[in-house]
Amino acid sequence: MCVLEYSVNSLLDSGTPARATDRYTHMTRPQPTHRWIAHMDLDAFFTSCEQREHPEYQGRPVVVGALPGHRGVVAAASYEARKFGIHSAMPISEASRRCPDAVFLRPDMEKYRRISRQIFQLLETMAPVVEAASIDEAYLDVSGLEKLLGSPATIGHDIKQRILAATGLTVSVGIGPNRLIAKLGSEYHKPDGLTVVPPEQVLDFLAPMPVANLRGLGRQTQKVFKRLGIRTVEQLRTVPLPRLEQHLGNKAAASFHNQAFGIASDQVMPGQGRKSISKETTFEADIGDNAILHDALRRLAAEVASTARHEGLAGTVVALKIRFEGFETHTRQHKRRTPTCDERTILKTAWQLFLDGKLPKKPVRLIGVGISGWEQDQPAQADLFELPDHQQDNQQLLQTIDAVTEKFGKHLLQVGISRKTGK
């Protein structure tokens, strides 16, 4: 693999403002392929928006979130702030201690959404299919555009240049034969990077990566991989699928096995925002002990809630999934009047669904929980950064859990309710 530095204007005579150089990682000369998927990820989006509108902030550490002296957490940190070890979900008191001279700002979600809409409108003029992954990420299907727009590398540079010209913001772009490679490519050289990985170089691209880079790899799976001596994707490939299944279960084993060989979806679907967030676990043996089931459900509810808060979502529908011997599966759900991203509420609702007497009284093979039915108008995430005093006790606990989880991993802190009553 070679890393080359190209002048942007030598590749694209677009007449638009550009940086002196634009980092471009190219595995080898791309060969014709039927699918080219691009992933665009805006660099430190919230803080970059603030630095764009306030030139005096450029080059300085900027932290968006709660203000020092208040209870709350970091929502986003500029790359200058990250040099001090500041990261999202960190308590604002710790961020202030690490860099007291940083610029601390409250989130302006309406501004960020406005700039995001501008960027997505631009992307829709550049590719026939665009899928919003979040407020600052998108997948684009650029297959077949080579004759019209040039090579995938040229298309990637064009995406970066046009966004820079229109908004003054930099983005990192990854392009590959599927969503997984595109996403890993956009992460490969941040900020302001471009990585193109043609199909014949996918295995070489993945081989030296730590397995932690793969999608869906949680703390418990990392422990399993460490116990098996698996640290890189190349090492993961050497483990037979049946052995992985013994340690991870069939679904997770298949997922990581496929990722290790670069196998993933190449479908980009517009308007396909996340419909739900769910987690489930399959037991090695059927479980009839409610204490074990409750503990498993508590961990799953915590993961679902943490994901929802991270993505600024709150759901009105809580769902419980139960599977018995012979793949007999039941799904129950409850619609709440108000949306939630609190694991205690999710756990309480799911456990009440379990206890209501409408499920068979049999040992459980699989248990899962999820939320959906998003509140559209007010993103939950914005409210978590700083709250009025009468709301802060509850949210402070959630912020603390998120901060500890971010630093030390899942399940160190958990909330609970009574197994007997669901309260």
DSSP string of 63-84, one letter each residue: EEESPTTSS-BEEEE-HHHHTT
* DSSP code at position 29: P
> CA nearest 332: which of 347, 345, 317?
317
pLDDT of residue 381: 41
Measured distance CA(324)–CA(342) in Å, rounded: 28
Residue 402: is its pLDDT beyond 80? no
| Low-confidence winner among 28-32, 46-50, 237-241 (lowest mean pLDDT) | 28-32
| Low-confidence winner among 131-140, 307-316, 391-400 (lowest mean pLDDT) | 391-400
pLDDT of residue 28: 44
List all residues 6 or more positions away from 255 whose beta carbon is below 8 Å from its beta carbon: 215, 216
The predicted model gives 208-215 an average pLDDT of 94
Measured distance CA(128)–CA(115) in Å, rounded: 21
Residue 14: is its pLDDT beyond 50? no
Split at pLDDT 50, 70, 90, the class of 393 is very low
| Low-confidence winner among 32-41, 245-254, 352-361 (lowest mean pLDDT) | 32-41
Measured distance CA(300)–CA(315) in Å, rounded: 15
Split at pLDDT 50, 70, 90, the class of 284 is confident
pLDDT of residue 398: 56
pLDDT of residue 322: 93
User: Coil, helix or strand for 4?
Assistant: strand
The predicted model gives 109-113 an average pLDDT of 88
Across 36-69, b (16+ Cβ under 10 Å) vs e yields bbbbbbbbbbbbbbbbeeeeebeeebbbbbbeee
Split at pLDDT 50, 70, 90, the class of 71 is confident
Average pLDDT along the chain: 82
Residues marked active site are found at 137
Residue 7: is its pLDDT beyond 80? no
More confident residue, 255 or 10: 255
Residue 145: is its pLDDT beyond 70? yes
Count the residues in the chain: 423
The predicted model gives 308-333 an average pLDDT of 86
* DSSP code at position 232: B
Burial class (CB in 10 A: 0-12, 13-18, 19+), 124: middle
∠ CA 112-338-73, rounded to 5°: 45
Burial class (CB in 10 A: 0-12, 13-18, 19+), 32: exposed
* Cα 348 from chain centre: 26
pLDDT of residue 394: 54
Highest averaged pLDDT of the listed ranges 184-188, 390-394, 410-414: 184-188
> CA nearest 106: which of 50, 55, 60?
50
- pTM (two decimals): 0.65
Q: Strand 22-26 to strand 2-6: parallel, antiparallel, or no bridges (unpaired)? A: antiparallel
Domains of the chain by range and CATH? 1-206 (3.30.70.270), 210-260 (1.10.150.20), 276-408 (3.30.1490.100)
The predicted model gives 388-396 an average pLDDT of 47
Residue 336: is its pLDDT beyond 70? yes
Residue 422: is its pLDDT beyond 60? no
Split at pLDDT 50, 70, 90, the class of 357 is confident
Measured distance CA(101)–CA(153) in Å, rounded: 40
| Low-confidence winner among 165-174, 264-273, 356-365 (lowest mean pLDDT) | 264-273
User: Coil, helix or strand for 209?
Assistant: coil
The predicted model gives 169-193 an average pLDDT of 96
The predicted model gives 370-383 an average pLDDT of 60
Tokens 């039915």 -> residue: 373
pLDDT of residue 389: 42
The predicted model gives 286-314 an average pLDDT of 88
Split at pLDDT 50, 70, 90, the class of 387 is very low
More confident residue, 377 or 295: 295
Residue 27: is its pLDDT beyond 70? no
Percent of the chain past pLDDT 70, that is, above it, reads 79
pLDDT of residue 318: 95
Residue 10: is its pLDDT beyond 60? no
The answer to whether the beta carbons of residues 198 and 28 sit under 8 Å apart is yes
Residue 227: is its pLDDT beyond 60? yes
Which two tokens mark 270?
A: 């517009």
| Low-confidence winner among 19-33, 369-383, 387-401 (lowest mean pLDDT) | 19-33
Directed axis angle between helix 241-248 and helix 219-227, to 10°?
130
